[in-house]
Amino acid sequence: MSDAAADQPVSTPVDSSRRTWIAITCGAGAVGGVAAAVPFVSSFAPSERARAAGAPVQVDISGLKPGEKLTVEWRGKPVWIVRRTPEQVAALPKIDAELADPQSKRKPDELTPAYARNEARSIKPEFFVGVGICSHLGCSPSDKFTPGPQPSLPDNWQGGFLCPCHGSTFDLAGRVFKNKPAPDNLEVPPHMYLSDSVVLIGEDKKA
């Protein structure tokens, strides 16, 4: 790890109350996830304000188990880190025909860094790093990791995310399904691995 990287704040997962706050605000008709997330920034401690202003955020992923997700804040936005199981990774190519942009060709510079323009939209197939803000009106989608038939989801559901606001669905690589209100895949933020157990969100240039 470089000295510069060592100076970065180490993030902790967003607590459930903040996630709930985002979801409630969006459900009430917010017009943008970024705007919705701004109010709680004012309560940040100084170091957290710096982080909200754009500082990269280090995340310890050593405790994340296969099939789990953690959420951190970066620039006031929720960033998800999902540790996919081998089965979840293997399922990704099977649903390409049902997706609006399976190869991440739309707005690549904005939504998908070059190192994530692959089937898993990630540096390491095991880990998906994505901004948890729907590309429709900015709600934060809910985890729907359990495969199979269930309310609001197709019978062949492989696991992913459901935006409760208007029903957009995303797979476990943040790729949006066809014929949904959301036009684009979820954003993959700039990121890089500082070690096997630490990922830096917000920066992807080696020092």
Q: What is the DSSP string of 66-106?
A: TT-EEEEEETTEEEEEEE--HHHHHHGGGGGGGBS-TT--S
Shortest gap between Cβ of 7 and ligand FES (angstroms)? 36
Q: Does 81 bind ligand FES (CB under 6 A)?
A: no
Interface pick for ligand FES out of 13, 67, 125, 181 (rule CB under 6 A): 181
30 versus 92: smaller Cβ distance to ligand FES: 30
Q: What is the DSSP string of 158-190?
A: -SEEE-TTT--EEETT-PBBTTSS--SPPPPPP
Shortest gap between Cβ of 71 and ligand FES (angstroms)? 17
Bridge partner residues of 176 (DSSP): 170
Q: Does 139 bind ligand FES (CB under 6 A)?
A: yes
Shortest gap between Cβ of 137 and ligand FES (angstroms)? 4
Distances (CA, A) of 57 to 38, 68, 80, 122, 164: 18, 20, 12, 18, 28
Q: Does 144 bind ligand FES (CB under 6 A)?
A: no
Q: Does 165 bind ligand FES (CB under 6 A)?
A: yes
Q: Which stretch binds ligand FES (CB under 6 A): 43-51, 53-61, 66-74, 158-166?
A: 158-166
Residue with tokens 């691995």: 193
d(CA 201, CA 203): 6
Q: Does 163 bind ligand FES (CB under 6 A)?
A: yes
56 versus 78: smaller Cβ distance to ligand FES: 78
Contact 81, 64 (CB under 8 A): yes
Interface pick for ligand FES out of 22, 55, 59, 134 (rule CB under 6 A): 134
What x-and-dash track marks residues 20-59 binding ligand FES by CB under 6 A?
Answer: ----------------------------------------
57 versus 161: smaller Cβ distance to ligand FES: 161
Residue 81, Cβ density class (10 Å: 0-12 exposed, 13-18 middle, ≥19 buried): buried
Shortest gap between Cβ of 30 and ligand FES (angstroms)? 9
d(CA 127, CA 197): 11
Site residues (vs ligand FES, CB under 6 A): 134, 136-139, 163, 165-168, 181-182
